């Protein structure tokens, strides 16, 4: 795909900006909501091929006005959406987990047709790649669920935050893969959304020390991860689609289906009992009073008939939501020769 023949060059600059802003807002929301792919949202806005080409041009030091404007529109719009809505989304996940997780399952499954359409002709490499992707994602989900059951909270050091940034950036490039879900299974979803919400409050209150603390402790490692993810994943995807398209798309399909394993909705955070062992320490009344609900160990529960029916309804609604959005997009596959 030659850049001069893409939608990016054919679309008038003002319209390109409008589409970039719409796609950026949708992508920002997608990175907050596990199950929705940022790449799928750009696809829905009609700027996915142009976005991929713009990233490729900038990362190879080819600077065209259309590329810079599009990337700027997408990044600024996505950043504002994340900054303004992180607290709301985090609260919904913590307070209404089974409802939100059910919705996330539907949103995730709704991305399967997006990738399946890209497969076109199923073959052995597709199925092998799908199996590998499923096993990898299911294993990641299992380890995360096990860690949550044993201690709830997760470590958010520089390395893990940078990995989280890479995961979030991957979803901007890979249609059908949810960055929010990857953050969830990595144990960085709530910590990052909490930091974003705290940063917003610090800016509003002009708390300079808190702004610097959050910027250095969270913003820099996540930002580095995002840059590495966008540059690395976009160019790697172009290479893999050119050399092993069937297997690559199979892996993407497997990642999507395997993602559902870690989203079992009927789980909740349960405060540890005083006197019990938690993260190798005996729980005291003082420790319990200082423990945030988001750090509670996770336990499964048996749903009522109403909860089971409600979960099924949320799954169906989420599926049709993602499927409907994807229906209005264009061909998501970037040309590896562009």
Q: pLDDT at position 279, please? A: 60
Q: pLDDT at position 332, please? A: 42
Distance, CA of 254 to CA of 247 (rounded, Å): 10
Rounded mean pLDDT, 265-271 = 80
Domain tally for the chain? 1
The answer as to whether 181 is a domain residue is yes
Q: Which of 137, 204, 128, 170 is nearest to 39 (CA)?
A: 170
Phi/psi at 137 (nearest 5 deg)?
-70, -40
The answer as to whether 91 is a domain residue is yes
Question: Who wins on pLDDT, 305 or 109?
Answer: 305
Question: Domain of 98?
Answer: 7-266+302-327
Whether 127 shows a pLDDT value over 90: the answer reads yes
% residues pLDDT > 70 (the chain)? 80
Residues 35 and 105 sit within 8 Å (Cβ to Cβ): yes
Question: Who wins on pLDDT, 238 or 239?
Answer: 239
Rounded mean pLDDT, 119-147 = 81
pTM, 2 dp: 0.63
Q: pLDDT at position 336, please? A: 41
Distance, CA of 132 to CA of 116 (rounded, Å): 16
Whether 118 shows a pLDDT value over 90: the answer reads no
Whether 334 shows a pLDDT value over 70: the answer reads no
Rounded mean pLDDT, 289-317 = 84
Q: Which of 202, 222, 223 is nearest to 213 (CA)?
A: 202
Both ends of the chain: CA-CA distance in Å? 4
pLDDT digits (tens, 9 = 90+) for 161-181: 888 888 777 767 776 667 777
The answer as to whether 213 is a domain residue is yes
Question: Who wins on pLDDT, 157 or 204?
Answer: 204
Secondary structure tally for the chain: helices H, strands E:
16, 4
Whether 219 shows a pLDDT value over 90: the answer reads no
The answer as to whether 220 is a domain residue is yes
Q: Which of 283, 321, 86 is nearest to 189 (CA)?
A: 86
> 277-278 and 281-282: which strand pairing?
antiparallel
The answer as to whether 276 is a domain residue is no
> 267-269 and 298-300: which strand pairing?
antiparallel
Rounded mean pLDDT, 234-257 = 82
The answer as to whether 183 is a domain residue is yes
Whether 306 shows a pLDDT value over 90: the answer reads yes
Q: pLDDT at position 205, please? A: 85
The answer as to whether 109 is a domain residue is yes
Whether 7 shows a pLDDT value over 50: the answer reads no
Question: Who wins on pLDDT, 135 or 289?
Answer: 135
Q: pLDDT at position 29, please? A: 78
The answer as to whether 287 is a domain residue is no
DSSP-assigned letters across all residues of 52-79: HHHHHHHHTT---HHHHHHHHHHHHHHH
pLDDT digits (tens, 9 = 90+) for 15-43: 778 888 888 887 887 777 766 677 777 77
């Amino acid at each position: 795909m030659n850049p001069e023949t893409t939608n990016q060059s054919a679309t008038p600059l003002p319209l390109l900006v409008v589409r970039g802003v719409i796609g950026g807002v949708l992508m920002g929301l997608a990175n907050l909501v596990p199950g929705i792919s940022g790449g799928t949202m750009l696809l829905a806005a009609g700027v996915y091929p142009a976005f991929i080409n713009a990233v490729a041009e900038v990362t190879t030091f080819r600077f065209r006005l259309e590329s810079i404007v599009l990337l700027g529109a997408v990044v600024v719009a996505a950043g504002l959406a994340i900054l303004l809505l992180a607290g709301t989304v985090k609260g919904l996940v913590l307070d209404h987990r089974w409802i939100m997780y059910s919705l996330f399952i539907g949103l995730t499954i709704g991305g399967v047709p997006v990738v399946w359409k890209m497969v076109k002709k199923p073959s052995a490499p597709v199925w092998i790649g799908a199996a590998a992707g499923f096993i990898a994602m299911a294993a990641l989900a299992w380890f995360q669920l096990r860690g949550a059951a044993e201690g709830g909270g997760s470590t958010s050091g520089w390395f893990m935050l940078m990995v989280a940034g890479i995961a979030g950036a991957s979803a901007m490039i890979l249609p059908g893969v949810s960055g929010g879900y990857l953050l969830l299974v990595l144990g960085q979803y709530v910590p990052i959304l909490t930091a974003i919400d705290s940063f917003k409050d610090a800016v509003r209150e002009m708390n300079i020390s808190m702004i610097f603390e959050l910027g250095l402790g969270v913003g820099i490692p996540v930002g580095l991860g995002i840059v590495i993810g966008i540059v690395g994943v976009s160019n790697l995807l172009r290479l893999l689609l050119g050399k092993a398209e069937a297997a690559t798309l199979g892996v993407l399909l497997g990642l999507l289906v395997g993602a559902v394993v870690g989203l079992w909705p009927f789980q909740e955070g349960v405060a540890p009992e005083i006197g019990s062992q938690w993260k190798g320490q005996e729980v005291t009344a003082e420790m319990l009073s200082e423990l945030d609900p988001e750090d509670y160990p996770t336990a499964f529960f048996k749903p009522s008939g109403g909860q089971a029916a409600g979960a099924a309804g949320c799954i169906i609604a989420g599926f049709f939501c993602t499927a409907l959005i994807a229906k209005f997009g264009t061909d998501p596959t970037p040309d590896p020769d562009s």
